[in-house]
């Protein structure tokens, strides 16, 4: 549960973004609102695979105030360096484990936590200005809400595009 102070800070971010103003002091908000970190932990811990180990064996197990204090210190001093992700291949179709696979990067626990805090802050910046027609990876939106929107408002079409395997030609290395 976020404190009123943190809710006010997040609300201020959303208002500034919606009005077109530059969002300032994001780093300060990130480092001074510890309940933001607790909420980030709760968000991650609820997910399946939350305790999956990263490349260095670090998980979210053992989360506590000391760990948050240390991470905030590393971020404030500019010495925090994210670890490489552990790369695993998972089946594209869970019903056919011997079929085609796709790569999955598994970050360590500290990186997951920092990424979730940043996701929460960035969502406050961008959610107010996203198009109402954008449904991907947004809160309270999904493929189903997109399909419902199409069902309720679609008037027909004059042409159709079919894109096959667009990621096959994309470069996946960084």
Blockwise average pLDDT, block size 10, the chain, 174 residues: 90 92 91 94 86 80 88 96 92 87 92 95 94 89 93 87 72 60
Q: What are the structure tokens assigned to 59, written together? A: 């998980």
Spatial separation of the C-alpha atoms in residues 32 and 37, rounded to whole Å: 10
Spatial separation of the C-alpha atoms in residues 92 and 103, rounded to whole Å: 9
Local structure of 8: helix, strand or coil: helix
Q: Do 26 and 124 meet the contact criterion of CB atoms below 8 Å apart? A: no
pTM: 0.79
**C-alpha angle 69-73-79 in degrees, rounded to nearest 5:** 140
Local structure of 38: helix, strand or coil: helix
Burial class (CB in 10 A: 0-12, 13-18, 19+), 33: buried
Please report the pLDDT score of residue 142 as a whole number.
92
Tally of residues, the chain? 174
Spatial separation of the C-alpha atoms in residues 27 and 31, rounded to whole Å: 6
Please report the pLDDT score of residue 174 as a whole number.
56
Beta-ladder partners of 87: 105
Please report the pLDDT score of residue 144 as a whole number.
94
Phi, psi dihedrals of residue 105, rounded to the nearest 5°: -95, 125
Please report the pLDDT score of residue 13 as a whole number.
94
């Amino acid at each position: 549960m976020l404190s009123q102070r943190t809710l006010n800070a997040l609300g201020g971010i959303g208002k500034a973004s919606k009005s077109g103003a530059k969002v300032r002091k994001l780093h300060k908000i990130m480092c001074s609102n510890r309940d933001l970190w607790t909420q980030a932990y709760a968000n991650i811990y609820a997910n399946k695979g939350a305790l999956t180990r990263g490349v260095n064996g670090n998980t979210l197990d053992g989360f506590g105030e000391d760990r948050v204090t240390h991470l905030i210190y590393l971020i404030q001093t500019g010495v925090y360096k994210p670890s490489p992700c552990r790369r695993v291949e998972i089946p594209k179709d869970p019903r056919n484990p011997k079929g085609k696979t796709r790569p999955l990067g598994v970050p360590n626990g500290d990186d997951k936590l920092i990424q979730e805090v940043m996701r929460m802050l960035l969502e406050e910046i961008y959610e107010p200005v996203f198009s109402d027609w954008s449904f991907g990876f947004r809160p309270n939106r999904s493929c189903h809400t997109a399909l419902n929107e199409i069902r309720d408002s679609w008037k027909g079409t004059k042409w159709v595009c079919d894109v096959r395997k667009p990621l096959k030609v994309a470069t996946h290395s960084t």
